[in-house]
A = this chain, B = another copy of it.
Amino acid sequence: MEKLREALRERGSRLTPQRLAIYEHLRDTKSHPSAETIYGELKARYPSLSLNTVYQTLQVLDEIGLAQKLPVESREARYDGNATGHAHLICLECERIWDIDGEALPAVSEIDRQAEKKGFKVVRNQVQVYGVCPDCQAKGR
């Protein structure tokens, strides 16, 4: 929470209950929710919350590096409370998303390095692997 307050202050922004709630929700879930989903999940506790605020807050969190917007193939963007560079595994059937960390990280860094070799100043990367998760495979296509 102090991390959030500090990052917001640096940007000249205020810490509001809505922002805190969205930040904590994102931080505590592994589900990479969409804006709409976050809205739905927080609405019970914060009845006055508006979807617009969710969008704005997610954008702010993305800007200050405390969240990451994932532009995936489905229409809705999904959000990740872990903004460090890592890859995502996306199930084409159930649309769930998982992080791939550990051994995949060096490969992600290697791609950045190739980009830099071409004279690019790298800001961030997005690595998505689309496929079918074990659950959906078991469910028999």
Contact = CB atoms under 8 A, between A and B. Distances in A.
Q: A-B pairs with the 5 shortest C-beta distances?
A: A119-B134, A107-B110, A107-B107, A104-B114, A122-B131
Nearest to A100: B114
A102 B113 CA distance: 13
A112 B131 CA distance: 10
Interface string A105-122: 011101110110011111
B104 A111 contact: yes
A18 interface: no
**How many chain copies?**
2
Contacts of A115: 87, 89, 100, 104, 129, 131
Nearest to A117: B103
Given A100-B118, A115-B89, A126 B126 contact: yes
Nearest to A115: B129
Interface stretch (A7-15, A20-28, A43-51, A66-74): A66-74
A126 B73 CA distance: 10
